Structure 1
Amino acid sequence: MLTRSTRSMVTFSNDFMIGDSQRELAAGTYEIVVEEELMQSLSFEAYRRTATYLMVRGRGSNTGQTTMQLTTREDLEHAIACDQALSETINDSEAALSPQEDKT
């Protein structure tokens, strides 16, 4: 069976959790690895996603270690949407604050 992997990057502006994991991950840039397999018996070339991984670099005593956290496309998209919404809320709140006037 033929397989392929594609890699991309995603940047989270805020700490986040993904899927059912209770582990909070730090804001930053993460690599996404998507594995797909070639679907057989079709008259055209098509691939089916078999796995999505979030590459998580270790911190503190685990510096230098990288783990592949299995996730789903839906959970990843949800985490990205939540991060964007939180960033917009924070930016809107900061923009709503006006500088104090100097009354001297």
Structure 2
Amino acid sequence: MTIRTTQTVARFSSPFLLPSFDAPQPAGDYRVDQDEELIEVFSRLAWRRVSAFIHLPAIGMNPQTYQMVPIDPAELEAALEKDHQQS
């Protein structure tokens, strides 16, 4: 089975909270990794997302520890949409 990881950046202009977080996170740019596995569908290739992680803290912050927290991509999209509507 072939797996690939794609990285994107999620930009929040306001503090935000996802259900998997213990506390709200400050505004900023956050690295997001999505792992996908290769599947064959009717002789075509396709990718199916199998997991997603957000890196804490935001890019450019200088903490003593870093975390990769598993997230639900739909919850991330909803938080980004809410943030966009508030700005």
- Structure 1 residues without counterparts, runs of 5 or longer: 88-104
The residue aligned with 2:43 is 43
Question: Is 1:70 the equivalent of 2:70?
Answer: yes
Q: CA deviation at 1:36?
A: 0.3
State the match for 2:10 in structure 1: 10
Contact 1:37 1:50 survives alignment (8 Å): yes
The whole-number CA distance in structure 2 between the counterparts of 1:65 and 1:21 is: 16
TM score, norm. by length of structure 1: 0.71
Q: Higher RCO, 1 or 2 (CA under 8 Å, sep at least 6)? A: 2
Q: Percent of aligned positions with the same letter in both sequences?
A: 27
Over aligned residue pairs, what C-alpha RMSD do you find? 2.0
Partner residue in 1 for 2:79? 79
Partners of 2:37 and 2:64 in 1: how far apart? Answer: 30
Residues 14, 26 of structure 1: 8 Å contact kept: yes
Equivalent residues of 1:57, 1:64 under 8 A apart? no
Question: Which structure is higher in helix share?
Answer: 1
> Which structure has the highest strand share of the two?
2
| SS of aligned partner of 1:46 | strand
Could you tell me the TM-score, scaled by structure 2's length?
A: 0.84
Tell me: CA distance 1:15–1:71, structure 2 relative to 1, closer, same or farther (3 Å): same
Alpha-carbon distance in 2 for matches of 1:17, 1:8? 19
Which amino acid in 2 is paired with 1:12?
Answer: F
Which of the pair has more CA radius of gyration? 1
Structure 2: distance between partners of 1:65 and 1:40: 39
| Alpha-carbon displacement from aligned partner over 1:13-48 (angstroms, at most 9, x marks no partner) | 000001353420010000010000111575111111
Moved over 2 A (4+): 19-22
Q: How far apart, in 2, do the equivalents of 1:26 and 1:19 lie?
A: 15
Unaligned runs of 5+ in 2: none
